[in-house]
């Protein structure tokens, strides 16, 4: 018989929560000097993570928060595979290529029956946009050099509603971002104004299929037609990139006749987020090009030190294989029929939520019937309370709903937005409506924070603003000033 030592006995007789490992605070900025048992390490981390929000109730995010258990198992079985080792994991590489071809065909790329589509998996749409932008910049530089023209001042034309990754691309790769400003009741890029801003240095015009702000689809067909006319007049070849991060897995199933993709000749590349309505957990995006000629060969690297010649066009090198495998699972598991059913259900739930919000009589609905299944809405009267208060109050029920102001020149509009994902049921929609109504009743009985903020501003020596005549822009400015001073103590 083996007897336990005193030290062994001490560790194993005490419960996890009675052990010394949870009685002391774990160092935050310096690695601990000693080890701890695996169950204690798990419990310490798990307990802190309980303070995070519930992903299922995070209605700010477009990113998938639920997958089937069978796919969860596939993900865990492949979590130790480094995708870049293509020679060691040839089946994973093949699955990625199948996904690229499925997406290219979904977007009507001119690919022959036995041809391989041009594209790759990426780390979300952010990397995909970087790769597309680099391809456009290099193609533009090649044309300019062939004509003996300077290449030192490239620009991209977008709407002010673009996601921040476009601003990152412009700053990181030294491209001017020319933004078409928004206006009240028109929260997407105006194609006419966009084409007016195009000049000889424009490497592409970026259209958004599913605006982050309101879910609306921009008119890519009109943009294509106007740009075709300008290109014919000027002799330029200014192309279009479609940022379909949110809408790329919605439009083909709900609006098959809508022309926004490679059916339009000036659309040269499209990105889409597999981890949004592609129904995969966070971490995967896709970029596809119209033809091989639209991706400059000089941007593709060939490596052989992993066992075979491998072409690669990515900003990163190592990355996990799990999300690519999960994407392939969803494609063959659901098929066109399954995706269509899910998107229709999301849209039905969005309509139910919209009807409930309209019935309160307190809100303007800013989102459109055609677009991403979400509801964006603003208060009709913000003289006493704001959408920021509503978002804050809904937190007590567990709902995470963003409140934000629109970009220029509609920054005086403050909005709430609820994104409807696959795992947002009709029951949750009805419960959210109930909670919104409850919050409205509660804040109507509270003193106006706007008046409090105005009084505080007056006391601090700022210009007096009469609360009875405060505009929404004033309200937003005061509230944002308060919010800006809030800091999360966790880095």
Domain architecture of the chain: domains with CATH:
6-51 (4.10.280.50), 73-332 (3.40.640.10), 448-491 (no CATH)
Q: Write down the pTM of the prediction.
A: 0.89
Which stretch, 220-234, 314-328, 460-474, has highest mean pLDDT? 220-234
Residue 440: the pLDDT is: 96
Residue 24: the pLDDT is: 81
How confident is the model over 225-248, as a mean pLDDT? Answer: 98
Question: Residue 67: pLDDT band by 50, 70, 90 thresholds?
Answer: very high
Residue 271: the pLDDT is: 98
What is the phi/psi pair of residue 235, to 5°?
85, 5
Q: Which long-range contacts (CB under 8 A, 24 or more apart) does 166-169 make?
A: 166/129, 166/206, 166/243, 168/126, 168/130, 169/129, 169/130, 169/133
Residue 124: the pLDDT is: 94
What is the secondary structure of 54-78 as a DSSP string?
PGGGBTT--SB----HHHHHHHHHT
Query: Any idea which residue has 């920054």 for tokens?
Result: 411
Using DSSP's 3-state secondary structure scheme, residue 243 falls into strand
Share of the chain above pLDDT 70, in %: 87
How far apart are alpha carbons 429 and 423 in whole angstroms?
Answer: 11
How far apart are alpha carbons 286 and 271 in whole angstroms?
Answer: 6
Residue 262 CB neighbour total at 10 angstroms = 22
How far apart are alpha carbons 296 and 293 in whole angstroms?
Answer: 7
Residue 468: the pLDDT is: 40
Residue 431 CB neighbour total at 10 angstroms = 13
Cis amide leading into 409 (omega within 30):
yes
Quick check: 454 pLDDT over 50? yes
Question: Residue 316: pLDDT band by 50, 70, 90 thresholds?
Answer: confident
How confident is the model over 458-468, as a mean pLDDT? Answer: 49
How confident is the model over 301-315, as a mean pLDDT? Answer: 67
Quick check: 74 pLDDT over 70? yes
Question: Residue 489: pLDDT band by 50, 70, 90 thresholds?
Answer: very low
Quick check: 423 pLDDT over 80? yes
Residue 51: the pLDDT is: 92
Question: Residue 112: pLDDT band by 50, 70, 90 thresholds?
Answer: confident
Q: Which of 332-336, 392-396, 437-441, 476-480 has the weakest average pLDDT?
A: 476-480
CA 382 to chain centre: 28
Taking each helix axis from N to C terminus, what angle separates 322-359 and 426-444, rounded to the nearest 10 degrees?
A: 50
What is the phi/psi pair of residue 434, to 5°?
-60, -45
Residue 281: the pLDDT is: 97
How confident is the model over 482-489, as a mean pLDDT? Answer: 44
Quick check: 188 pLDDT over 50? yes
Quick check: 462 pLDDT over 60? no
Residue 317: the pLDDT is: 84
Please tell me the chain's helix, strand, coil percentages from 3-state DSSP, rounded to the nearest 5.
45, 15, 40
Q: Which of 104-118, 311-325, 425-439 has the weakest average pLDDT?
A: 311-325
How far apart are alpha carbons 29 and 423 in whole angstroms?
Answer: 37
How far apart are alpha carbons 413 and 364 in whole angstroms?
Answer: 11
pLDDT digits (tens, 9 = 90+) for 343-388: 999 999 999 999 999 999 999 999 999 999 999 999 999 988 999 9
């Amino acid at each position: 018989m083996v007897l336990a030592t005193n030290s062994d006995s001490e560790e194993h007789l005490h419960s996890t929560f009675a052990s010394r490992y949870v009685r002391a605070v774990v160092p935050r900025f310096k690695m601990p000097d000693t080890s701890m048992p695996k169950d204690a390490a798990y419990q310490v981390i798990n307990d802190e993570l309980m303070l995070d929000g519930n992903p299922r109730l995070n209605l700010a995010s477009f990113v998938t928060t639920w997958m089937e258990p069978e796919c969860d198992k596939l993900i865990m079985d492949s979590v130790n595979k480094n995708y870049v080792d293509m020679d060691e994991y040839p089946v994973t590489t093949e699955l990625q290529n199948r996904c690229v071809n499925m997406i290219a065909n979904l977007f009507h790329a001119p690919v022959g029956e036995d041809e391989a589509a041009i594209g790759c998996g990426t780390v979300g749409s952010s990397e995909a946009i970087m790769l597309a932008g680099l391809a456009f910049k290099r193609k533009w530089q090649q044309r300019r050099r062939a004509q003996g023209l300077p290449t030192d001042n490239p620009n991209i034309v977008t709407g002010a509603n673009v996601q921040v990754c476009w601003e990152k691309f412009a700053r990181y790769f030294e491209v001017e971002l020319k933004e078409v400003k928004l206006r009240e009741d028109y929260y997407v890029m105006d194609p006419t104004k966009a084409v007016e801003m195009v000049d000889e240095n424009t490497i592409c015009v970026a259209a958004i299929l599913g605006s982050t702000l309101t879910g609306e689809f921009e008119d890519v067909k009109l943009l294509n037609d106007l740009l075709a006319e300008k290109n014919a007049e000027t002799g330029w070849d200014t192309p279009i990139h479609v940022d379909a991060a949110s809408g790329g897995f919605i439009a083909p199933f709900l609006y098959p006749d809508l022309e926004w993709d490679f059916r339009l000749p000036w659309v040269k590349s499209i990105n889409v987020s597999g981890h949004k309505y592609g129904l995969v957990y966070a971490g995967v995006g896709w970029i596809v090009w119209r033809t091989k000629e639209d991706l400059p060969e000089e941007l593709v690297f060939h490596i052989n030190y992993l066992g075979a010649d491998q072409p690669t066009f990515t900003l990163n090198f190592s990355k996990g294989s799990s999300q690519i495998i999960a994407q392939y699972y969803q494609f063959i598991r659901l098929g066109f029929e399954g995706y269509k059913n899910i998107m229709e259900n999301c849209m039905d739930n969005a309509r139910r939520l919209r009807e409930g919000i309209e019935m309160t009589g307190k809100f303007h609905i800013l989102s459109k019937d055609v677009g991403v299944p979400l509801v964006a809405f603003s208060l009709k009267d913000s003289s006493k309370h704001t959408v920021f208060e509503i978002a804050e109050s809904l937190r007590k029920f567990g709902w995470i709903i963003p409140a934000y102001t629109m970009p220029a020149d509609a920054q005086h509009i403050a909005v709430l937005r609820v994104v409807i994902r696959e795992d947002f049921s009709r029951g949750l929609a009805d419960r959210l409506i109930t909670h919104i109504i409850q919050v409205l009743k509660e804040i109507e009985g509270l003193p106006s924070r706007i008046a409090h903020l105005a009084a505080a501003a007056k006391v601090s020596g700022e210009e007096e603003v009469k609360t009875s005549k405060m505009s929404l822009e004033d309200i937003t400015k005061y509230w944002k000033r308060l919010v800006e001073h809030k800091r999360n103590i966790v880095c």
